[in-house]
C-alpha cells in the first residue's frame, strides 16, 4: 500500500527549493527596507509631566534630551537623573516595539538570526 502525501508536499524537488529561496530573498529585501525606514525615524517620550523629553532614533541612539529649567534642582540631582532615564527608556521602548511589530509582520514571528 502506498502512502499519499498532501497536495503540494513532496515531488517538487529543485523547483520548490528555488521558490523557497526566492521567497527568502524577498523577505530579506523587505526586512532591509523596513530597517532602513526605521533607522531614520525618531521617537520622543516625556517624563515628569513633560518636564524632561528624550528623542531617540530607530538606530537606538539618543538624539536629544530637553529639560525644563524649573526641574533643575542642585539639591536633587538624583530626581533629574531618574526623569532623564525614564524618558530615554520610554523612547527606546517605543522604537523597539515598532521594530518588533514591523519585522514580526514580515517574518511571521520567526526569529531569524542575521535578518535584523
Q: Around Cβ 98, how many Cβ atoms within 10 Å?
A: 15
Confidence class of residue 1 from pLDDT cuts 50, 70 and 90?
Answer: low
> Which residues constitute the domain of residue 62?
43-108
Q: Is residue 22 part of a domain?
A: no
pTM beyond 0.75: no
**116 within domain boundaries:** no
Number of domains the chain is built from: 1
Write the pLDDT tens digit of every residue in 47-102.
Answer: 999 999 999 999 999 999 999 999 999 999 999 999 999 999 999 999 999 998 98
As a whole-number percent, the residues of the chain with pLDDT over 70 amount to: 80
pLDDT tens-digit series, residues 68-80: 999 999 999 999 9
Residue 95 resides in a domain: yes
CA torsion, ordered 109, 111, 115, 116, to nearest 10 deg: 80
Residue burial 50-68, b: 16+ Cβ < 10 Å; e: rest: ebbbbbbbbeeeeeeeebe
CATH of the domain at 95: 3.30.1310.10
| 44: three-class secondary structure by DSSP | strand
**Is residue 81 assigned to a domain?**
yes
pLDDT at 38 over 90: yes
Instruction: Assess if residue 28 is contained within a domain.
Output: no
Helix, strand or coil for residue 9?
coil
Residue 33 lies in a domain: no
Amino acid at each position: 500500500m502506498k502512502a499519499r502525501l498532501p497536495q503540494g508536499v513532496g515531488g517538487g524537488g529543485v523547483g520548490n527549493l528555488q521558490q523557497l529561496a526566492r521567497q527568502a530573498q524577498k523577505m530579506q529585501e523587505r526586512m532591509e527596507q523596513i530597517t532602513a525606514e526605521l533607522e531614520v525615524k525618531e521617537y520622543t517620550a516625556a517624563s515628569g509631566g513633560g518636564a524632561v523629553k528624550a528623542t531617540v532614533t530607530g538606530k537606538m541612539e539618543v538624539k536629544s534630551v530637553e529639560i525644563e529649567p524649573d526641574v533643575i534642582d542642585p539639591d536633587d540631582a538624583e530626581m533629574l537623573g531618574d526623569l532623564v532615564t525614564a524618558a530615554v527608556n520610554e523612547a527606546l521602548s517605543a522604537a523597539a516595539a515598532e521594530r518588533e511589530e514591523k519585522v514580526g509582520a514580515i517574518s511571521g514571528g520567526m526569529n531569524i538570526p542575521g535578518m535584523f
